[in-house]
Copies of this chain bind each other. A is one copy, B any other.
Amino acid sequence: MARVYNFSAGPAMLPEPVLAQARDEMLDWQGSGMCVAEMSHRGKEFMSIAAQAEADLRELMSIPDNYKVLFLQGGASSQFTAIPMNLLHGGESADYISTGSWSKKAIAEARRYCGVHIAATTEDTKFTRAPAQAELDLSADASYVHYTPNETIQGVEFSDIPETNGKPLVADMSSTILSRPIDVSKYGLIYAGAQKNIGPAGLTIVIVREDLIGQPINGTPTMLDYKVQADNDSMYNTPPTYAWYLAGLVFQWLKGKGGLSAMGEINARKAKRLYDCVDASSFYQNPVDPTSRSWMNVPFTLASADLDETFLKEAKAAGLTTLKGHRSVGGMRASIYNAMPEEGVEALVSFMHEFERKNG
């Protein structure tokens, strides 16, 4: 079968040139006679791959020198635990902004380790917007402030970075990282599961200001201690080497595309094209406040939920897959991460027009 346009929210599409290179190197990476997955992580071949990936990520994101970049396992869900364990610093509470399903998960896990003060929540409006700065009720004794810049399920995104009056700002950027330029210096810690904009599932990136690590609470698992991971260059134990390699290929691909400024322009165009299609129609609807709409995840409903099954079936036949919305929201969701080409969005828009014409 031809390659499909896969709108999965994650694991998501990977750039085809990255897959082609991985395929070509599968039995022999650059004359080594080995697949990257077979290499000792302590050998010079993999060490060079790992170092290049970190250097490319630092360049792409302009990561300041006083930040550590960690290549970890366990997904964002493991970071939900690691963040309070590492960043409470003797404090007893943290501020969390609640904007959807993923911030709620982060909050539930943090509550097992500290007091959580909800600095703002948009649950009363069904998580269809990001709160404004003026709505934030930050507490004086919070050790840090956590938020989710992009809520993958609700398709809600912050357009500005919250101001925290000097408190370390912590962001779950699983669905935002690498989608556009980000000012890392505004953050204390950024974390992201790889399976959306970075690479395959099983790798988690943590970017953390180095003065914030080294004071974990008692009982922090060694593997969740950022200082241990930083001191060991993310090789306290065997890292997910093949995922790290694929992420490195994605970073090279992004550099070839012109970096994050170029990606930001492309992603803005892709999102606008899709929201314009939804807004120009009374057949499709998106419930999110236009100022808070995600560039990465575009949920939409059809005029009648009875048409959902037909829409999904016909879309799949047209090579447009994984469009079913999350069960908590219903309808459809088109996730359009970096690896989704503009042609894929164009194909979806054409399909949506045709589907509306036949069923509207």
A33 with B1, Cβ < 8 A, contacts A75-B238, A201-B240 known:
yes
The interface size bin for chain A is: 35 or more
Contact of A221 among B1, B202, B224, B240 (CB under 8 A): B224
CB of A76 within 8 Å of the partner chain: yes
Rounded to whole angstroms, the CA-CA distance of A113 and B9 in the bound complex is: 38
- In the complex, the answer to whether B78 meets A221 with C-beta atoms within 8 Å is yes
Q: Which of A13-21, A50-58, A127-135, A280-288 contacts B (4 or more CB under 8 A)?
A: A13-21
- In the complex, the answer to whether A37 meets B77 with C-beta atoms within 8 Å is no
Among A39, A73, A80, A241, the one with the most B-chain Cβ atoms within 10 Å of its Cβ is A73
CB of A149 within 8 Å of the partner chain: no
CB of A109 within 8 Å of the partner chain: yes
- In the complex, the answer to whether B31 meets A1 with C-beta atoms within 8 Å is yes
Residues of A within 8 A of B (CB): 1-4, 6, 8-14, 16, 19-20, 22-23, 26-28, 31-35, 37-41, 43, 73-78, 80-81, 109, 112-113, 193, 195, 199-203, 219, 221-224, 236-243, 246, 319, 321-322
9 smallest CB-CB distances across A and B, nearest first, come from A202-B240, A4-B33, A23-B26, A77-B237, A81-B221, A37-B200, A73-B73, A8-B40, A1-B31
Known pairs A73-B78, A240-B240; list 14 more (Cβ under 8 Å).
A1-B31, A2-B33, A4-B34, A6-B33, A6-B39, A8-B39, A14-B37, A20-B26, A43-B322, A77-B223, A109-B222, A202-B202, A221-B221, A221-B224
